[in-house]
Structure 1
């Protein structure tokens, strides 16, 4: 077990430089050392490597540590034989070095992100949300070639699957859909809730209006029931 509490952010900063061959860290004004654009790395790897500015605010830190050691195992994609995973394993790093890297990412991560920002960090490299004019950062053709299948737009996913299913699917898709191309994402519990909340707000924007209308209808029928009861009592009192 890697003890992440002993990580040194300053030491981690030096180690993270090797990540800049593929990744960017926009919040620190660090770009890819290769000079490649998102379109170029998408074509090369099949998917755009994520910007690392916010990862410690979205992903579980233990997951990140194990992902650095073995991305395929952490993502639960071992069933894809011959998978050329874009992220190489950094199994040669010591536990202390892993802890230092996580400490650095934690030191630059924002204290909070809104629901859309969390979704963009965790999901938008592959998925689009056309209802919110949010396009995947990766080329859809590159993704289809890499994954072996088209990636769905998630605009209506909340209605077709529901909150409970999506919450379970995000962090363990293999359990619900064996052999799927979708990797385990590894987000925190809070991030998972925010992703579902974002999809809910986009895919079912009238939900709150329906709920408010339902409450008004209940009040209306309650008032009508009371009036009907009072009217009945008046009629029967006149008869007696």
Structure 2
């Protein structure tokens, strides 16, 4: 009976620490923020559903291919990565999958005013302009046409790695998968103000929920960061996080199943230890 009371005391103390202190510490280190907003409700509504893809193609050829490649349509990037990063501060993305991985209204607003859409007005201004100029001189209809064109050439499917490459690899490396950032580290530091981390172990250090929130809106969790709001749609963002997890935590399922087995083993061992102790002390008494 005495042993059972001691067990209850230990269980109570453990419960208080786990359900009382741990949530408090977590709330201090990771304050609650609004959930991810995949509709980007703070942005102006630019309806691209009725955009004219043919007109959009003309606008893209006249305004975008001077800096961006569209490999799926036979347009290579006009400069190699080193030259492009030296000119712009970061390698401009290939636009082949833009209509597939970015939320359409975000993409339209980014074309119109990239600094505002990406929430980087604290980093870039008239004295330090953002590499991509604002196309707010275009009408919303013309911008909708461009988005419609990107949607018309977007691939039906892209792999998790391909989404990461298109959305993240310009700045971030994934060394565990032998992917290096397209922009040289020092050039990116001058451009962003800090080095972009390798993401190989980010899933282990930050966790899935943090990554979803941070990718959707970095300013919620790290105010003043140079990390832009990427603008991925919900499906593409899940693919990025799944890819990061597959590289940095490939043994997750195995580890979790082993954890359950370990707990069951310790429970059985505890019962056997108690019965053994009870038998020994009964003989002594």
Q: TM-score, with normalisation over the residues of structure 2?
A: 0.74
1:192-226 deviations in Å (ceiling 9; x for gaps): 1111111111111111211232354567679x69x
| 2:102 corresponds to which of 31, 56, 59 | 59
Any gaps of 5 or more consecutive residues in structure 2? Answer: 1-44, 273-285
Check if 1:89 corresponds to 2:111.
Answer: no
Match in the other structure for 2:16: none
| 1:205 corresponds to which of 223, 229, 250 | 250
Equivalences for residues 51-200 of structure 1 within 5 A: 51-80=94-123, 81=125, 82-200=127-245
1:153-172 deviations in Å (ceiling 9; x for gaps): 11111111111111100011
| 8 A Cα contact 2:47 2:105, kept in partner | no
Distance 1:195 1:36 in 2: 26
| 8 A Cα contact 1:43 1:139, kept in partner | no
SS of aligned partner of 2:65? helix
TM superposition outliers: structure 1 runs of 4+ over 3 Å:
214-222
Any gaps of 5 or more consecutive residues in structure 1? Answer: 229-240
Give the alignment's Cα RMSD to 1 decimal. Answer: 2.1
Distance 1:164 1:220 in 2: 30
Equivalences for residues 31-42 of structure 1 within 5 A: 31-32=76-77, 35-42=78-85
Cα drift, residue 89 of structure 1: 0.3
Match in the other structure for 1:6: 50
| 8 A Cα contact 1:128 1:135, kept in partner | yes
1:39-77 deviations in Å (ceiling 9; x for gaps): 101111110000000011111010000001100000000
Aligned residues: 227
Match in the other structure for 1:235: none
| 2:60 corresponds to which of 16, 21, 30 | 16
Cα drift, residue 121 of structure 1: 1.1
Q: TM-score, with normalisation over the residues of structure 1?
A: 0.88
Distance 1:175 1:209 in 2: 33
